[in-house]
Amino acid sequence: MNLYPLQFTPILKERLWGGTKLKDVLGKPIESDITGESWELSGVKGDISVVSNGKLSGTSLQELMDERGEELLGKSVVERFGYEFPILIKFIDAKQDLSIQLHPNDTLAKERHDSFGKTEMWYIMDADPGAQLIVGFNKEVEKAEYVKSIEAGTLTDLMNYEEVTEGDTFFINTGKIHAIGAGVLLAEIQQTSDITYRVFDFNRKDKEGNLRELHTELAIDAIDYEKKDDFKVNYPQVTDTVNTMVDCPYFKTNFLELTQPLHQDLSKRDSFTIYMCVGGEAQITNDWGTANIKKGQTILISASSTYVEIDTKGAKLLEVSI
């Protein structure tokens, strides 16, 4: 069976800090008032995405990889990652501040958790007035100073705050301390990993009245203590063309703001391609079929596709590949 443009059933996650924007803004089928994440495309064990459109409906992403590995993923991707999907695609709604956290690099994650590390990027889709992110430190910090701030409950005094608006994009490399702030709706692209070191959670309690677990000791040797201004992505936004946003060893992301149809030659791209719609709507066609996409939806195009045709009168898309 040919690999037409594939859509997947969202995996919805309730979170202490979640809200209703995934339902109200993106139209996700949600009853809860604290849904914080919609996992759009996941190969994480226990949370494997399932196809929702066409003849392959009901087939899991893992089944597709096992049966059609190189066709779906690309030969070079299989050589690097085997039959494991190497990135995780999400939409996140933060009604409250997320915990201040960081992610270990590949070496630490492999050694401690037998997992990939977690490099990620964020594209801001919607932000309440004054909404902020925490990204990195606001000065050079010594390890001892950090530890003292954790013990004293003054970590926020060392944090760098960034006010955000729609279209702002951030690259979060491993070791960088960070948090999504209240009032932010964003698209997240990350390595396939669910390893997070939570270091401060504003003393919040869960619905059972318990403080959430912190990972204070694990985090100490995983943090990048340098003050770096390397997180804000300044990318071109030329309409009706492909604009490079991020090109790192784990994923490549382009920004497409289209006012008319666009043809993409994929014959030399030895990787799957993902389209996340962050505005408007479009019809996406490859060698074997067509699927419609609108704001808040995601489509997977197989590596075996030789082209993709995007038909639209107005859409903003994030194009992701390896």
Rounded CA separation 139/117 (Å): 25
Average the pLDDT over 130-152 and give the result: 96
Tell me, what's the pLDDT at 319? 98
Q: With 70 as the cut, is the pLDDT of residue 82 above it?
A: yes
Tell me, what's the pLDDT at 126? 97
Rounded CA separation 27/275 (Å): 17
Tell me, what's the pLDDT at 203? 84
Q: Which domains does the chain have, with CATH numbers?
A: 11-220 (2.60.120.10), 243-321 (2.60.120.10)
Q: Mind listing the pLDDT tens digit for each residue in 218-276?
A: 999 999 999 998 999 999 999 999 999 999 999 999 999 999 999 999 999 999 999 99
Q: What angle do CA 72, 320, 114 make, to 5 degrees?
A: 70
Q: Which of 105, 109, 230 is nearest to 175 (CA)?
A: 105
Q: What is the mean pLDDT of the chain?
A: 95
Q: What are the CA-CA distances from residue 161 to residues 61, 132, 200, 300 (Å)?
A: 37, 6, 15, 34
Q: With 90 as the cut, is the pLDDT of residue 208 above it?
A: no
Tell me, what's the pLDDT at 194? 80
Q: What is the pTM of this model?
A: 0.95
Rounded CA separation 157/217 (Å): 20
Q: DSSP string of 283-310?
A: EEEETTEEEEEETT-EEEE-TT--EEEE
For the purposes of burial, counting CB atoms within 10 Å of the CB of 211, is it exposed (0-12), middle (13-18) or buried (19 or more)?
A: exposed
CB count within 10 Å of CB 40 equals: 25
Q: Mind listing the pLDDT tens digit for each residue in 270-282?
A: 999 999 999 999 9
Number of helical (H) and strand (E) elements in the chain, helices listed first: 6, 20
Rounded CA separation 298/189 (Å): 12
Tell me, what's the pLDDT at 173? 94
Tell me, what's the pLDDT at 204? 84
For residue 210, the 8-state DSSP code is: P
Tell me, what's the pLDDT at 1? 65
Tell me, what's the pLDDT at 205? 80
Q: Which of 87, 85, 90 is nearest to 73 (CA)?
A: 85
Q: With 70 as the cut, is the pLDDT of residue 299 above it?
A: yes
CB 87 within 8 A of CB 121: no
Distance of CA 299 to the CA centre of its chain: 14
Tell me, what's the pLDDT at 192? 92
Active centre residues (catalytic) = 198
